[in-house]
Amino acid sequence: MLIVQKFGGTSVGDLERIESVAKRISKTVAKGHKVIAVVSAMSGETNKLVGYAEHFSDNPVREEMDMLLSSGERVSASLLSIALNEMGLKATSMTGRRAGIVTDSFHTKARIENIDPTSMQNAIDSGNIVVVAGFQGVSEDGLVTTLGRGGSDLSAVAIAGALKADLCEIYTDVDGIYTTDPRIEPDAKKIDKISYDEMLELASLGAKVLQTRSVEMAKKLNVNLVTRSSFSDAEGTLITKEEDIMEQALVSGIALDKNQARVSMRGVKDRPGIASDIFNALAKSNINVDMIIQTVGHDGETNLGFTVPKTEMSDAQAIVQTFIDNNEVQEAEYDSDICKVSVVGVGMKSHTGVAAKAFSTMADENINIMMISTSEIKVSMIIQEKYAELAVRSLHGVYELDK
Amino acid sequence: MLIVQKFGGTSVGDLERIESVAKRISKTVAKGHKVIAVVSAMSGETNKLVGYAEHFSDNPVREEMDMLLSSGERVSASLLSIALNEMGLKATSMTGRRAGIVTDSFHTKARIENIDPTSMQNAIDSGNIVVVAGFQGVSEDGLVTTLGRGGSDLSAVAIAGALKADLCEIYTDVDGIYTTDPRIEPDAKKIDKISYDEMLELASLGAKVLQTRSVEMAKKLNVNLVTRSSFSDAEGTLITKEEDIMEQALVSGIALDKNQARVSMRGVKDRPGIASDIFNALAKSNINVDMIIQTVGHDGETNLGFTVPKTEMSDAQAIVQTFIDNNEVQEAEYDSDICKVSVVGVGMKSHTGVAAKAFSTMADENINIMMISTSEIKVSMIIQEKYAELAVRSLHGVYELDK
């Protein structure tokens, strides 16, 4: 098999850990696999360099930031290659440029446009382990670029896609994706396999492990993604196509998002386009609206509610106030003490009653549901924040995720 | 004028010093000059990276060392460019690759083969200060290379040559070349102008400031080289063509080389090719033979003496022993307590008596001269090491270098 193995900053955090990474790669090679390793900078290095730049400027030239920051991955990539060669393995390191990773020109947050895998393929074909400096590429005009937060994961997934690798393993300090946050529910179980779409809905459960961008790219490129720990040999979680998961669980996991706040507008003026005006105004201010609910009361009064991240609440409040000042909204209530609990599972597509069971579980626990939003594979509920853990634990038990 | 300014590791040793370098460049620009800055890695960085590599291997893969080490200059170059931009100046940093510096493939000690100055010229033409990462280039097959010790000086001189710059300033922590080592002769004076050839003969005086390779390249490319201090505004020493120096000093300086040892062979067999055999054997072992003297005694016995660096003495001894074992040399003496004192000056070409004055000065001080070697612009004498400082001071006075 051709396996892409990505090691984050913690996994290559010091020389001993780089040594461990080299040993892990050598084990994979010993099993007969071909390996492309993608590495981040040693942990702390990128922050150190950012600090240097900020000494000179609050807003350093982005092209220069990329020149600066891309040096961190050169160091970890070359050191890992040196360690592998010292073990008697054939290894060669490559910058993003040499690996053929072409991006757009949005320096410090570039997007990968395409990958020319020729150099990597040639190196692999001549028996090399290829060590690629993650997080970086090169723009059409030949300047080095970086991919922003989580960039090394994107490098790994894109490389796996370009080379049609059998597997893309993302090594972190967590051993996989769990049915829910184990700090809330100690009986949470590690998930063996999960579909891309479920993973995207469970983003909050994998937030520390995988960025949404990486999962989306893996889905698009059909890359089998595994997240696992670089500190143990435990199998991780495979994120793959829905069709490739034989036994679909009814529910895969329970996600909790505490970073939610709710705006409830009462007496919204009954004119065409009023909702569009409100949400366009919010979008223009870069406010991320999540759930939206509109109700019409028996007196003909229209109510409109929506949720935003807690940090964007005051911005949203200012915009809603302009509609109140214009007499287009009668009044509004703001509530930050809420959270979103989501039940996620592709099994819902073919089984009825999953949502009903969620609602009755809330009723049994005397938890009031303020808003509901559903998709084919998800039921999300807004409830009071103080019930967050209770709701998660109850749902986790009801769907037998601890079994 | 177009000026190349090279700043070594000490000059960009920390963020405050990088700030000072930016200010110095801005002053040069304010005078109406165009500037290409060439920078080394922040002092200590290269050693740190070498230490990392040595953790893994006593003999790390050279290609990977270049990938590793070239990161240091990326950091200092981008930081300097950020600092310049923050001052409102237009600056752009370039790697060796982008600067068009093409080298051979001898990784970790590559030689510059040619420079394509297009990118630098375009950037200069559009009003940029160009900041080039020194010490590095790119091989024909696209891999990053480094130039070995003193490599950033070579980058600067080669760039100055390729762009036909008016001046190449090498900034260090010393303010120029002195008539002799000021620690030996406190009355030593800073030299204002000196020819390439004199500088090459005075290598030991400039050893901490300029490498021989850089002076040779400056001579070849006709680059006006200035060494000066990055910590003061004092004018430095200009190293240039002999024809461009109006008032030629009879003697420019007195150099001292304590790293010398002497081998004296007695009774060398009288057969054709014996000397060639001995010196070929030494050359094959990479022993740098400096002075050679052959004498034939009145009894027809041939004596052969030569000097080598002290550190190569024991290797030389082993080789000479093989000739003794073969009965081709009768016996040999080895002497490490010697030194070489040289009087250097282009004025010697047109004035007689310079050498004679050196010999009589030694005689006046009762210093025995063991070996003599002369060139058009130099008289070197091997004397006992204990007389080193006395000889230097006496010669410095006799040629009135303190005036």
Q: What is the pLDDT of residues B243-291, one digit of tens each?
A: 887 777 789 999 999 999 999 999 998 888 899 999 999 999 989 999 9
Contact A71 B67 (CB under 8 A): no
Residue B67 φ/ψ, nearest 5 degrees: -60, -45
For chain B, give the percent of residues with pLDDT over 70.
99
**Which strands make up the sheet holding B101-103, listed edge to edge?**
B112-115, B101-103, B136-139, B144-146
pLDDT tier, A244 (very low <50, low <70, confident <90, very high otherwise): confident
pLDDT tier, A46 (very low <50, low <70, confident <90, very high otherwise): very high
- The Cα–Cα gap between A357 and A398 comes to 8
Contact B71 A71 (CB under 8 A): yes
Alpha carbon B401 to its chain centroid, in Å, reads: 22
List chain B residues with pLDDT less than 70: 206-207
DSSP B103-166: E-S-TTS--EEEE-THHHHHHHHTTPEEEEETTEEEETTS-EEE--TTHHHHHHHHHHHHTT-S
B278: distance to nearest CA of chain A, Å? Answer: 39
Which class for B326: exposed (0-12), middle (13-18), buried (19 or more C-beta within 10 A)?
exposed
In this structure, what DSSP letter does residue A100 have? Answer: T
- The Cα–Cα gap between B346 and A99 comes to 54
Which class for B271: exposed (0-12), middle (13-18), buried (19 or more C-beta within 10 A)?
exposed
* B98 vs A82, A92, A142: nearest CB: A142
Which class for A244: exposed (0-12), middle (13-18), buried (19 or more C-beta within 10 A)?
exposed
Domain boundaries, chain B: 2-172, 254-398
DSSP B244-270: G-SS--S--EEEEEEEEEEEEEEEE--
pLDDT at res. B212: 87
pLDDT at res. A207: 67
Question: Among A107-121, A166-180, A345-359, where is mean pLDDT lowest?
Answer: A345-359
Q: Which single residue is written with the structure tokens 């082993």? A: B318
* A78 vs B64, B81, B92: nearest CB: B64
pLDDT in tens, A165-215: 999 999 988 889 999 999 999 999 999 999 999 999 987 776 677 888 899
Cβ pair B117, B221 in contact under 8 A: no
Contact B56 A86 (CB under 8 A): yes
**Structure-block tokens of residue A156:** 């790994």
**Structure-block tokens of residue B201:** 């003969």
Alpha carbon A149 to its chain centroid, in Å, reads: 10
Class of domain B254-398: alpha beta
Name the residue of chain B whose CA is nearest to A92's CA. Answer: B64
Q: How far is CA B195 from CA A209, B131, B167, B190, in A?
A: 64, 29, 15, 14
Superfamily of domain B2-172: Acetylglutamate kinase-like (3.40.1160.10)
Residue A229 φ/ψ, nearest 5 degrees: -90, 140
Contact A52 B15 (CB under 8 A): yes
Cβ pair B342, B254 in contact under 8 A: yes
Cβ pair A42, A16 in contact under 8 A: no
* A60 vs B75, B82, B142: nearest CB: B82
- The Cα–Cα gap between B322 and B319 comes to 5
Q: How far is CA B120 from CA A67, A120, A162, A363, B279, in A?
A: 16, 30, 34, 71, 46
**Structure-block tokens of residue B294:** 């052959």
Interface of A to B at Cβ within 8 Å reads: 15, 18-19, 49, 52-53, 55-57, 60-61, 63-65, 67-68, 70-72, 74-75, 77-79, 81-83, 85-86, 92-93, 95, 98, 142-143
**Structure-block tokens of residue B371:** 């070996």
